[in-house]
Amino acid sequence: MRIPSFLSLIVLAAMTGPVSAQSAATGAMPAEAMPVPPLVEVEEAGVGSTIRISLDHARVLRLTEPVGTIIIGNPAIADAAMPDDVTLILTGRSYGETNLIMMDQNGVIVAENTILVGLEGGSLVSVYRRTTRSTLSCSPICQIRPTPGDDPEQVNAGFGAFEARNTQAVGAAGGGQTR
């Protein structure tokens, strides 16, 4: 099924680093009024499109058309909030891959995407102790990263830490209230 191009997504990112305003004498637009260029543009938000998010980071997606409903396949991996019907905020909650389905006000699926939550700039290390394995994310210090196939005791400890961290983050964000 071809997804109409008018439902393409534009992912915007904040510009990094200090920006100075141009002088009024040059007639240039002040930095605050300059449009933010798109970081990534997905021409057709169809099957196979991947949205990458770092763990504990958020991405703001501006939708070209209003969306009525969003569905996250596994909310333990990514969380979504819609402050309005054309803005979608995705937050990486734990490592993994899930899907995002967007429906219009009539309940018709208008876009499907894959969400991939992973490491940015980090590296993974596997430690083997006889027949058990533990996976660590080292960026710059090593921390347990639960991975299927790891020692169950380490995985349970890692998931407990994720659960405690997510509970703390939701509480700090006002209880995770969305519209």
Domains of the chain: total: 2
Give residue 41's pLDDT band: very low, low, confident or very high (50, 70, 90).
very low
Q: Is the pLDDT of residue 99 over 90?
A: yes
Range(s) of the domain holding residue 136: 123-171
Query: From CA 168, how far away is CA 123, in angstroms rounded?
Result: 26
Mean pLDDT across the stretch 3-12?
A: 34
Mean of the per-residue pLDDT values of the chain = 71
pTM check: above 0.75: no
Query: From CA 37, how far away is CA 22, in angstroms rounded?
Result: 18
Could you tell me if 9 and 86 lie in one domain?
yes
Mean pLDDT across the stretch 96-100?
A: 91
Q: Spell out the residues 6+ positions from residue 24 whose beta carbon is closer than 8 angstroms to its own.
A: none
Could you tell me if 99 and 46 lie in one domain?
yes
Evaluate whether residue 27 is within a structural domain: no
Evaluate whether residue 23 is within a structural domain: no
Q: Are 101 and 71 in contact (CB under 8 A)?
A: yes
Could you tell me if 82 and 163 lie in one domain?
no
